[in-house]
Structure 1
Amino acid sequence: MAKRVVIDPVTRVEGHLRIEVEIENNVVTNAWAQGTMFRGIEQILQGRDPRDAVYITERVCGVCMASHGWTSAMAIEDAQGANVPRAAQLIRNLIAGSLWLHDHPLHFYHLSALDYLDVLAVNHYQGNVAELLAVKNKIMSLVTAGDTAPLTPRYQPDSYSVRDPEIVTTALAHYLEALKIQGKAKKMSAVLGGKQPHQSSIVVGGVTIYPRKEQLEAFRTLLNEVVSFAELTYVPDVVSFCTGPLLELGKAGVGAGPGGYIAYGGFPMDDSGTEKLFKGGFISNEAPGVVEALDMSRITESAASAWYKDGEPAHPWAGETVIDFDKKGAYTFIKSPRYKGEAAEVGPLARMLVMQHSGLLDLMGRYGIKPGAVARHLARAQETLLITKSMYRWLDDLETLLGSKTVRPDIHDSKHWDPPAQGQGAALNEAPRGALGHWLKIDQHVISNYQMVVPTTWNISPRDEKNIPGPVEQALIGVPVDPDNPVNVVRVIRSFDPCLACAVHLIDADGEKIVKI
């Protein structure tokens, strides 16, 4: 008889996600991803001055806030015809890039790694490295005190879990070090963004900060520390895990998803903003490896399975967000974005595949790793190396611009500050979790409609009007799982970078609760 495992909520950093999977013969046969919280940011924006959107949209997220503020500014600039000066582009890149260097190690160490570690193996560490002995003593003192959160409670270790005491103890030492590095990455962003969370420097038309020499020196000092950790600790850890204990999961392509990938492109690299660090494009599941040019008009959203009034799938400019709690068949507050009618994965793996990144492709080819949960971790690590190198280039270019003795570079387009009476704008950008789009319409100088299609909307989307499941739903189907210890389910979910589970229920096919874990 089929069972359902219900994980509610799957959360740690942000988000309110409920996952249901149906299991037969220890294999997931069906899955439903449910966004269980309605926030209504898009309605809040209606009737507001468009320039307010930069700061209101940042409140969507406590992790990717700069990405939302930046993308909102870009959409309004599109509507107002503003041209962002190069110095402002560089400052924006540095503000956002700092948070990418914060986000990717956070995801690996604090959101995912515990799924693969037998934490209590530290008790068997027999080495004499002082740092590792301190970690062992700290963890075991917490065990004795019964206060081991957030390391426990957890699902039980399985055949893919790392039990070697030295590896586990080293990983936990890096877990603790990564917490300190996150603080430094946040400080980097605050140096140029004014504060964190929710920076205040990015505005429509540019930025408000004209950095002083000592600010750029402070930024560089922090950057050196963050990059050192990323290159010498984080990336080697990811590669070691993915090509070692997790290799069989990688070779099997566990958690593969729909096979379609989309990236919008992000981080402008030239004065016009057209050349970008991350390239935009689409890979269809019907033509693996073939990258198509992106056509924004082919993006639609379906509300077929969401608690919103729906009609035909609509482009975000024509989209509405009208609640319908009584809608038959609905099970989530998340709509279903599609590109050319296809479900598509977004995020680091999608970006690396779209840009055909040789570092990732070489690693996957050398070890026989297929797209899936393990490949997503590798993609984040390779992407981090791209960001670290680019951060130095952007900082050097900014120092050169600001150090000119003949011309004081502009940081804002003040000629296009006021919103038009009528207009519309759009921006496609990249956030750490994936493709991010903002669309707005302006009527009588205020926002008449605002739509955001965020990375998790793509990945956690429900079934659409054709009953096609979203990427996470498809990724879970076929995953081997023990219903009493569904660690593989959360491994796949977390590889997309949503949040952690804190309650699990098992129910039978008729919905009767059997076990609470």
Structure 2
Amino acid sequence: MARIVIDPITRIEGHLRIEAQVDGGRITDAWSSSTMFRGIEKILKGRDPRDAWYWTQRFCGVCTTVHSIASIRAVENALKIKIPPNAQLIRNIIIGIQNVQDHVIHFYHLHALDWVDITSALKADPGASSKLASSISDWPNNSATYFKEVQDRFKAFVASGRLGPFANAYWGHPAYRLPPEANLMAAAHYLEALEWQKDVIKIHAILGSKNPHPQTFLVGGMAIPIDPDSQNALNADKLIEIKRLLKKAQDFVENVYIPDLLAVASYYKDWAAIGGGEGNFLCYGEFTDAGGNQWFPSGVIVNKDITKVLPVDQKKIAEYVDHSWYDYMEGQGKGLHPWNGESEPHYTGPKPPYQFLETDKKYSWVKAPRYNEQPMEVGPLARVLVAYASGHKEAKEAVDMVLGKLGVGPEALFSTLGRTGARGIDCLLNARQTPKWLDELIGNISKGDYRIHANTLWDPSEWPAEASGYGWHEAPRGALGHWIRIKDKAIFNYQAVVPSTWNASPRDAKGQRGPYESALVGTPLADPDKPLEILRTVHSFDPCLACAVHVTDVAGNEMVKVKVC
């Protein structure tokens, strides 16, 4: 029996360490550890609740819009503020394109290299790549000439000796199965996706003034004005440009991403039985309309039972720190609801350099959130499963289409391959639905409805002495929740439970594994010295540890001091 370590896990946001026990060529146990500490909740105490969204954006440089949305919703929930339809539609558009861009980036630039051997693409016949690409899509860039140009670019890149992100990988690993022509096709689309995502996210610049960290969010609505006669407001020209960019996004998803996803998956069908984990799923729901109805339904699925979707009760959420480097005032073994959450760091782990963590004790800066005392997987798979099991028309059609083309049943969704496929399905649904919200917005404006903000309860003098609220958002990586307690017009307590807190959690008070840890158990390893298979499953969750934690040194000393003038 051997113990292996991957530290750091690359092609993610933040710092993640995985330790695994291997016996007989399979993982028998695993531990997920983040080596960073997050402290922004403590920074928020005492501040104006209306400013919280601006600070929480700084949890991460990737998940920029998502914390703004969740934070604003928490304050609106606490103060019982209802926003105008136009503001809701603009938020839906921002959220929708964020999901589409994020999923495409994840597939091509973070996850694909777990399945695609770039070095093999150098040996491909461009004509064969053209034939393969043309058989699955009518995308314009399917000619042999195009693939030859891409191959030549890669050859020149390799000849330069400056390999950048391709320098350190398990190229030639026996777990890679794609033929050279498929590898060249995927490599070409890797490059196309880089240019594509840079263009489509301009929607955030139009509606939010910039990306990352859009600036037009506002408690009670949005800060971007609507005025067809002003160049400094949301007008007809900008709406037309958004429509063009949404069309470009949908075309790429339908004609490149989904065909590539199906093509790659067809060579790895055995991964439909690997990486399933505990089988508990949590989804908060998303895309609310003027009537308060969610386009993506909320729900909880337990033990892979998709015949039953349970309602979500936020009172059943608690975070444990029995294996996390934090102290609770009431001691260990007790979970705290986020409204009463504490983030007092106390590092008790080994001092570097060390070979292994003390995994029988505390071993991560990530807390262990639980729903009704159970670990929950969150993310696109949870979102798609809840929608599918709830009878969501578009979700059922998309899932059945993907399963049908791969020739597998719904049980295949509970796996690493299913998690990767669900992200593509989620992306497709968002790409098709977001233009409809734009059409609704245009329809409202054409009727003379320019309302963008609710003026009620903006003045703190009208607030109650104390108020508590929570804001939920289905971020690309999954269920994101912000909880706020307001007292005397200021933030009394603030806690965020992010997707990677759920998924990357360590053991809890009962010794239950977190989702990463559970999903890795049983994974076969062709070569324990090159554990590519661990990367496949962990990357299928799209980790974002920057959201889950922030930086300190091992002694808890201050590393940087920022003076706010």
> TM-score, length-normalised on structure 2?
0.84
The structure-2 alpha-carbon separation of the partners of 1:499 and 1:119, relative to structure 1 and needing over 3 Å to count, comes to farther
In 1: Cα distance, 2:399 partner to 2:459 partner: 44
Task: Give the counterpart letter for 1:263 in structure 2.
Answer: C
Counterpart among 368, 371, 390 of residue 433 in structure 2: 390
Is 1:337 aligned with 2:360? no
Is 1:45 aligned with 2:44? yes
The structure-2 alpha-carbon separation of the partners of 1:36 and 1:61, relative to structure 1 and needing over 3 Å to count, comes to same
The answer to whether the 8 Å contact 1:343/1:468 transfers is yes
Tell me the equivalent position of 2:514: 470
In 2: Cα distance, 1:191 partner to 1:256 partner: 40
Shift of 1:370: 4.4
Task: Give the counterpart letter for 1:339 in structure 2.
Answer: Y
SS of corresponding position for 2:496: strand
Shift of 1:388: 1.4
Counterpart among 157, 160, 172 of residue 142 in structure 1: 157
Task: Give the counterpart letter for 1:344 in structure 2.
Answer: M
Task: Give the counterpart letter for 2:454 in structure 1.
Answer: D
The answer to whether the 8 Å contact 1:162/1:168 transfers is no
In 1: Cα distance, 2:16 partner to 2:243 partner: 37
Shift of 1:286: 7.3
Is 1:376 aligned with 2:422? no
Tell me the equivalent position of 1:510: none
The answer to whether the 8 Å contact 1:121/1:165 transfers is yes
Tell me the equivalent position of 2:203: 188
Shift of 1:141: 1.6
Is 1:408 aligned with 2:445? no
Is 1:314 aligned with 2:336? yes
Tell me the equivalent position of 1:263: 283
Task: Give the counterpart letter for 1:99 in structure 2.
Answer: Q
Shift of 1:385: 1.7
Shift of 1:478: 0.7
Counterpart among 282, 285, 288 of residue 303 in structure 2: 285
SS of corresponding position for 1:223: helix
Q: Deviations over 1:30-66 (max 9, x none)?
A: 1111111113010010111111111111111222211
Q: Deviations over 1:398-418 (max 9, x none)?
A: 0011111xx433110112213
Give the alignment of 1:92-241 within 5 angstroms.
92-128=91-127, 129-209=144-224, 210=226, 211-241=234-264
Counterpart among 520, 527, 538 of residue 493 in structure 1: 538
Tell me the equivalent position of 1:443: 487
Shift of 1:13: 4.6
Give the alignment of 1:340-355 within 5 angstroms.
340-355=372-387
The answer to whether the 8 Å contact 1:34/1:460 transfers is yes
Task: Give the counterpart letter for 1:237 in structure 2.
Answer: D
Q: Deviations over 1:109-135 (max 9, x none)?
A: 001111111211122223351211111
Shift of 1:288: 5.1
The answer to whether the 8 Å contact 1:79/1:424 transfers is yes
The answer to whether the 8 Å contact 2:103/2:476 transfers is yes
In 1: Cα distance, 2:380 partner to 2:242 partner: 25
Is 1:455 aligned with 2:499? yes
The answer to whether the 8 Å contact 1:101/1:185 transfers is no
Tell me the equivalent position of 1:418: 459
The answer to whether the 8 Å contact 2:8/2:15 transfers is yes
Counterpart among 266, 291, 297 of residue 272 in structure 1: 291
Q: Deviations over 1:417-470 (max 9, x none)?
A: 134332111112200000010001011111010000000000000000000010
Shift of 1:84: 0.6
Gap runs ≥5 in structure 1: 501-517
Counterpart among 291, 294, 298 of residue 312 in structure 2: 294
In 1: Cα distance, 2:481 partner to 2:251 partner: 32
Q: Deviations over 1:158-206 (max 9, x none)?
A: 4442442221111111000000111122211111011110001111000
In 2: Cα distance, 1:280 partner to 1:169 partner: 40
In 2: Cα distance, 1:291 partner to 1:445 partner: 38
In 2: Cα distance, 1:499 partner to 1:271 partner: 32
The answer to whether the 8 Å contact 1:111/1:499 transfers is no
- Give aligned pairs, total: 492
Ranges of 4+ aligned residues in structure 1 off by more than 3 Å: 156-160, 286-289, 361-366
SS of corresponding position for 1:451: strand
Shift of 1:300: 1.1
SS of corresponding position for 1:171: helix
Tell me the equivalent position of 2:229: none
In 1: Cα distance, 2:209 partner to 2:16 partner: 32
The answer to whether the 8 Å contact 1:364/1:375 transfers is no
The answer to whether the 8 Å contact 2:200/2:245 transfers is yes
The answer to whether the 8 Å contact 1:31/1:476 transfers is yes
Tell me the equivalent position of 2:10: 11
In 2: Cα distance, 1:200 partner to 1:318 partner: 30
Gap runs ≥5 in structure 2: 128-143, 227-233, 350-357, 389-394, 546-565
Task: Give the counterpart letter for 1:392 in structure 2.
Answer: P
The answer to whether the 8 Å contact 1:439/1:450 transfers is yes
Tell me the equivalent position of 2:85: 86
SS of corresponding position for 1:301: strand
Tell me the equivalent position of 1:248: 270
The structure-2 alpha-carbon separation of the partners of 1:190 and 1:13, relative to structure 1 and needing over 3 Å to count, comes to farther
SS of corresponding position for 1:92: helix
Task: Give the counterpart letter for 1:67 in structure 2.
Answer: V
The answer to whether the 8 Å contact 2:208/2:214 transfers is yes
The structure-2 alpha-carbon separation of the partners of 1:453 and 1:499, relative to structure 1 and needing over 3 Å to count, comes to closer
Identity score, percent: 41
> TM-score, length-normalised on structure 1?
0.92
Give me the CA root mean square deviation. 1.7
In 2: Cα distance, 1:479 partner to 1:118 partner: 20
Q: Deviations over 1:217-264 (max 9, x none)?
A: 11111111111111110011112211x1111212xx211111100100
